[in-house]
Amino acid sequence: MKYLYVTLGFLFLGLGAVGVFLPVLPTTPFLLLASFFFSKGSNRFHRWFCDTKLYKEHLEEFINSRSMTLRAKIGILILATSMMTVSFIVMQNWIGRGCILLLISFMYYYFIFRIKTVEKSETIASAEE
């Protein structure tokens, strides 16, 4: 099982790294998955991942403070909503469409009410402390 977790960790790390350069792929969710799988698969790989520049720039602040900038929230919501809207349009089954609407509703609830919104300057100030 540990080999599977490490393999999935590297897969999602790769997708997160590509997401830095391609606006179509969201970086943060893939890096969160990579962190999860590395922590399950290998302490060594998890420590290595936490020391990478990619982790420190895109994930560390979120992990430490459970907060994001408004720009990051909007970017993720726009991308995820557009992808789910395409799925909704293509889906012919009304139960599937209902599930997609529930998922979109939960996503907006979670990002608006459960993840704190901070200013860019707050993120920099908290990183310096």
CA distances from 119 to 11, 61, 73, 116 (A): 31, 12, 12, 10
- For residues 16-55, one letter each, b for 16 or more C-beta atoms within 10 angstroms of the residue's C-beta and e for the rest, the string is bbebeeeeeebbbbbbbbbbebbbebbeebbeebeeeebb
Would you say residue 103 has pLDDT above 80?
A: yes
pLDDT: is 54 or 124 the higher one? 54
Give the chain's mean pLDDT.
86
User: Which DSSP category does 66 fall into?
Assistant: S
96, two tokens: 């599937």
Amino acid at 35: S
Question: Distance (Å, rounded) from C-alpha 31 to C-alpha 57?
Answer: 11
- Whether pTM > 0.85 for this model: the answer is no
pLDDT for 25-70, tens place per residue?
778 788 889 999 999 999 999 999 999 998 888 788 788 888 888 8
